[in-house]
Amino acid sequence: MIQYNYGKTEDGIIVDISQINKDNSKKKYICISCNEEIIPKIGAIREHHFAHKNTNVVCSKENYYHLLGKYVFFDTYSDCIKNNIPFYIGIKETQCKNNLNYKCGNIINTNFNLLEYFDNIEMEKHNGKYIPDLRLFNQNNKENIFIEIFYSNRVSEEKINSNNRIIEIQVKNEDDLKIIKNKIFDEDNLNLRFYNFKRKSANNEKCNNCRFLVRHNDNKPIIKYNTIDSCKFIVLRYDGIIQCKIKKPSEYLMLKKAYKNVKKVEPNIDYDLQYKEFIEDCKNKNLEIKINDFW
């Protein structure tokens, strides 16, 4: 039997099972997903929850979490607007004039209060050719952000390629709602993805934390050679899995002893060639080839 922690009243108000007591437990509650009647279970033995009155009802858990995420975000942001409560997002920004050919290690999180830019919210309304789950917008300057909630199906490539700013939130259980209720969206959170956000950078052409990258056909960035300073080098190493890391020369002898196979990457020789040679060398030593995501 499917059990939920959230339901809604007959007039559409979302309620948490923790809000239910003996005084209001006799009211009628509706399932967020299938709109069938649910009953609050608030006994002394089992953990409190909502259960469907009809035990044979077919209810989609994916639809439940998708709708629940939308309702909770709408209510939370609406409350922020009403009571002037900040809702922050943290955007990663480099401290140099970066581009796609470099990976900068000097990155900071810049926090923005969304309410300073977007003082309106709507749910499932047309915006041009798209219907976002939610839209934050400012009527004065026509700026907006799409908020997309997903359980298993991510936002479409078409919507991403529309250049609309999008924040994608994964909600697979009730605990994921804390991301919304805490009113802080940080790019380091694995349940969040940010698309099409403009990122400022400092005026430096390149800082001491930049490394040159080459991109392969799978579009994964792989380090080509070190541009930080002369006291470090790139090393391919194998110990059950192939990895590419920056190490100090003083660690090289230690690495040779610690790993089954190690190769120092020469900056003046084609990286792809050295990488392929390293794989062949691993094969010649009868090592099983598994490749880790680089960086």
Domain ranges of the chain: 3-59, 65-195, 210-284
Q: What is the largest CA-CA distance in the chain?
A: 77
**What's the confidence (pLDDT) of residue 13?**
92
Q: How many secondary structure helices (H) and strands (E) does the chain include?
A: 5, 20
The pLDDT score that the predictor gives to residue 230 is 42
- pLDDT score of 46: 72
Q: pTM of the full predicted structure?
A: 0.66
Report the amino acid identity of residue 47: E
Q: Residue 294's pLDDT is what?
A: 39
pLDDT value at residue 79: 96
Q: What is the pLDDT of residue 211?
A: 52
Distances (CA, A) of 197 to 27, 146, 167, 194: 45, 11, 9, 7
pLDDT at position 220 is 44
Give the pLDDT confidence score for residue 208 in this predicted structure: 54
| Regions in the chain scoring below 70 on pLDDT | 1, 45, 94-107, 200-234, 238-240, 245-250, 252, 267-271, 289-295
pLDDT at 176: 93
Cβ neighbors of 203 (< 8 A, separation 6 or more) are 97
